[in-house]
Chain A
Amino acid sequence: MRNLIIFLRRYFNFFLFLLLEVICFIFVFRNNNFQRTVYLNSASSISGKLYTKYNGVQYYFHLQSTNDSLVKENVRLHNELASSFDTRDTGTFIKYDTLRKYSNDTARKLLSTEMRKYLYREAKVINNSVNREINTITIRRGSKDGIRPNMGVIGPDGAVGVVRSVSENYAVVISLLYKSTGAANNSNFGFSAKLRNSGEIGTVYWDGASGGYGYMKDVPRSARLHKGDTIITSGFSAVFPENIAVGYIDTFRLSDKSSTSYSIRMKFATNFYNLQYVYVIENLLRDEQTRLEDSTRNLLK
């Protein structure tokens, strides 16, 4: 016993070192599990407050570019309004952006009632990183404002990321800038996207090199690609709605002559370097969808 105590005292420094490193590693690995909703720390109140202050100053200098992007977005949305279209009387439905659709003749029969599926909430970005392996965005909106983990996040120009963890007033978003190889293993953040013109599905991922460019793979060889084509979300996951821009094709190539799929380098639609406002998307039917899928999976077991 005495020898043990002497042993411990002699190597006390080393044991303290091991203890501290083990604590660090527990932190690292507990937080690396993507599925678990953990309390990431820029969501905590002290650092959250500091970032809010800092962003207040920084935001001022970006007012011009923020305004520009908001105006552009307004124009795009105006263009999609029903009132921007000249409805011709050809027996089609009037497209009111409401829950109900009526027929266009004098009877005005109720044709269908549509449920709202996606609900958008705006949020201010207060912290943003682009040069790490796993980049996060902190937004000034939390569980008090109805944000919950695994909601999709888009910016004025296109897809941004997925909410990872939430505190009362803040939420942390994992952006699309999440280094992965796109291969189907467990440390993978590739997500499903498709080409707007032809509809081919592929996987989008980021290789960690530059914050402006990502990659899309698994696009079949039969696809006709052109530089500048738009890549949009596929709507397969319950996170993003369909038809949200992800990026634009920059270059594409076949890895070798015999390969069956293209590897596409694309420019992200979102400029992650000057993000100021984002929209958090809530899928109101998500619970129903996942419950159905889970119960089916249980039946098949």
Chain B
Amino acid sequence: MSVLLRNIIRFILLILFQVVVLDRILIEQHVNPYLYMLFILLLPFNLPRPALQLLGFLLGITLDMFSDTFGLHAAACVFIAYLRPFILNILSPQGGFEVTQRTPSVTSMGTSQYAIYVSVLVLLHNIVYFCLSVFSFADPLYLLLKIVLSTVVSLFLVLIYELLFFSRK
């Protein structure tokens, strides 16, 4: 399957999964599980940065259309799409990652690097999203709890995703 087709399918499935399943799950009032930003994290290494940001914007605005939060998801997605190359740069070994595999994954980056990469970007996404969504620092504990708990649940979902779609090629 070509990379383009694979990413288009991933885009549609992640948005559908987010809208139809995750947005309906009520674990606790402070927990809003988000998995859709995994699309940005799994885009190929060699994608130019403007394209990355535009795709982030597209992803965010698509989810915003479904959840009546016009602009919130888009702002968070553009933010992590902009920071993704920097984080990859910091984490990459000297000479860059092996080019045999073109997308970030456990096999191409190594388990610990991949874990750090995903955790940092998911956390950044949630910080931007919840700060904009709550839009007040009057109740910092509420905000902090929401960010931390949602990030933990999101990371758990990413872990499940990795276990489900793990490929060793």
Contacts and interface: CB of A to CB of B under 8 A. Distances in A.
Query: Does B associate with A?
Result: yes
Interface of A: 12-14, 16-17, 20-21, 23-28, 30-32, 40-42, 44, 46-47, 50, 54, 129-133, 136, 138, 172, 179, 181, 187, 208-211, 273
Most buried by B among A21, A30, A130: A21
Contacts of B72: 24, 28
B70 A129 contact: no
Contacts of B70: 27-28, 30-31, 40-41
Given A42-B68, A129-B67, A133-B133, A24 B74 contact: yes
Interface in B63-111: 64-72, 74-75, 78-79, 82
Contact of B60 (A24, A42, A131): A24
A209 B29 contact: yes
Given A13-B50, A54-B20, A211 B65 contact: no
A133 B139 CA distance: 13
Contact of A131 (B32, B50, B74): B32
Contact of B142 (A13, A27, A129, A208): A208
Interface string B131-163: 011111010001000000000000000000000
B75 A132 contact: no
A26 B78 contact: no
A54 B134 CA distance: 28
Contacts of A28: 70-72, 75, 132
Interface in B40-77: 49-50, 53-54, 56-57, 60, 64-72, 74-75
Interface of B: 19-20, 23, 26, 29, 31-32, 49-50, 53-54, 56-57, 60, 64-72, 74-75, 78-79, 82, 132-136, 138, 142
Given A131-B26, A132-B133, A21 B66 contact: no
A44 B70 CA distance: 12
Nearest to A138: B68
Nearest to B71: A27
Nearest to A40: B68
Contacts of B56: 20
A41 B65 contact: yes
A26 B132 CA distance: 12
A172 B69 CA distance: 12
Contacts of B31: 131
25 contacts: A13-B53, A13-B82, A20-B54, A21-B75, A23-B71, A24-B72, A24-B75, A25-B71, A27-B64, A27-B71, A28-B71, A31-B71, A40-B68, A40-B70, A41-B66, A42-B65, A50-B66, A54-B20, A133-B134, A133-B135, A136-B68, A138-B68, A208-B29, A210-B29, A211-B26
A25 B75 contact: yes
A41 B57 contact: no
Contacts, number: 94
Contacts of B54: 16, 20
A138 B66 CA distance: 11
A299 to B, nearest CB: 38
A130 B26 contact: yes
A26 B53 contact: no
B121 to A, nearest CB: 15
Contacts of B133: 132-133
B82 A131 contact: no
A-B pairs, 8 with minimum CB distance: A27-B71, A24-B75, A28-B71, A17-B82, A24-B71, A20-B78, A41-B65, A24-B74
Contacts of A24: 57, 60, 71-72, 74-75, 78
Contacts of A54: 20
A13 B49 contact: yes
B78 A129 contact: no
B77 to A, nearest CB: 9
Contacts of B19: 50
Nearest to B85: A13
A50 B66 CA distance: 9
A42 B71 contact: no
A44 to B, nearest CB: 7
A172 B74 contact: no
Given A21-B79, A131-B32, 9 more contacts: A12-B50, A13-B50, A13-B53, A20-B56, A20-B74, A21-B75, A24-B78, A131-B31, A208-B29
B145 to A, nearest CB: 11
